[in-house]
Chains A and B, each alone.
Chain A
Amino acid sequence: GAVVSQHPSWVICKSGTSVKIECRSLDFQATTMFWYRQFPKQSLMLMATSNEGSKATYEQGVEKDKFLINHASLTLSTLTVTSAHPEDSSFYICSAKGQGHLETQYFGPGTRLLVL
């Protein structure tokens, strides 16, 4: 199956700092990558969709300047949480789709962010 990695798996930071999360497709080219936020025992909340080489499309209510997304190559997307605050503490998950995978999303293992 297709493998997606995500780094770091855990991050603790101070309020006001920025945090970058990387998402990589290891064995396929990801034409589209997605970033989700998930609260405990809840469903995935889509934050944004990114296609390689173009600007990300953000879902309604998601602050573009707060959550910066870069999809620089067909295997790498990054999410930067700028000036993080305690309310940004959450579980962030990325996923990737590639050609020939029948619209299937393959998910990274997630990143737990705690902002103190």
Chain B
Amino acid sequence: AQTVTQSQPEMSVQEAETVTLSCTYDTSENNYYLFWYKQPPSRQMILVIRQEAYKQQNATENRFSVNFQKAAKSFSLKISDSQLGDTAMYFCACDNTNAGKSTFGDGTTLTVKP
């Protein structure tokens, strides 16, 4: 069975500062994808960043970057220059091509303070 663990239920950060959200996962598959999704108060799920497990290079999308440690099965999200609009619940997810579906973590609620 595939599992995803987010150990930080809530976090806060001052505007313009950097914050890192943790995620660990467990899968027996070799071919899988990892995702971070953001769910703001509107509840619309939005893709933040995606990492293919076969790629060693960490994915980056503007202010968002990941630290992908495959051997440790760790996939943390770093948000730089935090903005008020980053306030949301963040979900880490793992998807392997055999299962065809994603396993989601319990989420981390991030609050960016002015």
Residues of A within 8 A of B (CB): 1, 32, 34, 38, 41-44, 46, 49, 91, 93, 95, 102-107, 109-110
Contacts and interface: CB of A to CB of B under 8 A. Distances in A.
Contacts of A105: 35, 95, 102
A78 to B, nearest CB: 19
Contacts of B50: 102, 104
B46 to A, nearest CB: 8
Interface stretch (B11-19, B37-45, B63-71, B75-83): B37-45
Contacts of B114: none
B91 A32 contact: no
A63 B67 CA distance: 39
A41 B89 contact: yes
9 contacts: A1-B47, A34-B101, A41-B109, A43-B105, A43-B106, A44-B45, A44-B104, A103-B97, A110-B43
B61 to A, nearest CB: 12
A113 B42 CA distance: 15
B80 to A, nearest CB: 22
Contacts of A91: 43
Q: Which of A38, A43, A95, A102 has the most CB of B within 10 A?
A: A43
A32 B35 contact: no
B100 interface: yes
Given A41-B107, A103-B95, 6 more contacts: A42-B107, A43-B107, A49-B100, A93-B43, A104-B47, A105-B102
A110 B109 contact: no
Given A103-B33, A103-B97, A43 B91 contact: yes
